């Protein structure tokens, strides 16, 4: 039986005449804090024909341990013809919505590639670009190009969360990477949200209203004298 995550979609595109095939994916779409990150990866054709042994376990980043993702990321960069990572910050996520922000992050990563692809494999999304593309549901577990992009996006975003943990240690960002874990929700309840939280997301919005330190003052009521 063939591996679920394989190069069959890349090879099918090559049989149709496409030669520069890029995979795109995002990380951090469901997080409450920080940017959504996207990566684009363009492998040379020989990777699709015979996958290097060092990339044998290339798969959806969520199915790999953090240690293995960190090992694979530099190997992916080594074997690619071109790669790029882009971010869309929390303020723009709040302004646009997370779906549009994810699309913009992918498009930004695509524009940063030093080699222009002629075919795109994208995880469950379509981009408004004049390039032939195929959207794959659960593409990060089916296409090695999308899987590689998911790993680069995830490791980049995780490193950013480590940096922000030093600025906002009260939230534990290094542990949960900004996702809605019980300890993150409790930290939001106690401290309220930071400027880099996604304030359009319900748990953050609610925490801003009901944080432990928040004070709700009574509205002044005018007393009208009787008989007027």
Provide DSSP, 143-174.
BHHHHHHHHHHHHHHHHHHHHHHHH-GGG-HH
pLDDT, one tens digit per residue, over 166-189 is 999 999 999 999 999 999 999 999
User: CA 114, 117, 123, 128 torsion: positive or negative?
Assistant: positive
Judged by DSSP in three states, 40 sits in strand
Residue with tokens 């670009």: 129
Residues of the chain with pLDDT under 70: 1-3, 210-228
Single pTM value for the model: 0.90
The dihedrals phi and psi of 40, each to the nearest 5 degrees, come to -125, 135
Q: Which two tokens stand for residue 58?
A: 């290339």
Look up residue 25 and give its DSSP letter.
E
């Amino acid at each position: 039986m063939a591996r679920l995550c394989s190069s069959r979609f890349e090879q099918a595109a090559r049989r149709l005449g496409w030669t520069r095939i890029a995979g795109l994916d995002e990380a951090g779409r469901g997080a409450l804090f920080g940017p959504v990150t996207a990566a684009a990866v363009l492998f040379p054709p020989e990777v699709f024909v015979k996958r290097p042994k060092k990339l044998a376990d290339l798969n959806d980043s969520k199915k790999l341990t953090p240690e293995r993702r960190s090992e694979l990321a530099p190997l992916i960069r080594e074997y690619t013809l071109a790669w790029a990572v882009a971010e869309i910050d929390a303020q723009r996520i709040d302004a646009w919505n997370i779906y549009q922000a994810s699309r913009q992050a992918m498009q930004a990563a695509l524009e940063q590639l030093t080699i222009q692809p002629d075919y795109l494999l994208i995880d469950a999304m379509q981009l408004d670009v004049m390039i032939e593309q195929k959207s794959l549901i659960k593409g990060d577990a089916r296409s090695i190009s999308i899987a590689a992009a998911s790993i680069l996006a995830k490791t980049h975003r995780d490193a950013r969360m480590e940096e922000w943990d030093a600025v906002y240690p009260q939230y534990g960002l290094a542990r949960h990477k900004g996702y809605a874990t019980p300890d993150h929700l409790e930290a939001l309840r106690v401290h309220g949200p930071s400027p880099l939280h996604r304030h359009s997301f319900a748990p953050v919005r609610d925490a801003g209203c009901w944080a432990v330190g928040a004070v709700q003052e009574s509205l002044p009521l005018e007393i009208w004298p009787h008989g007027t």
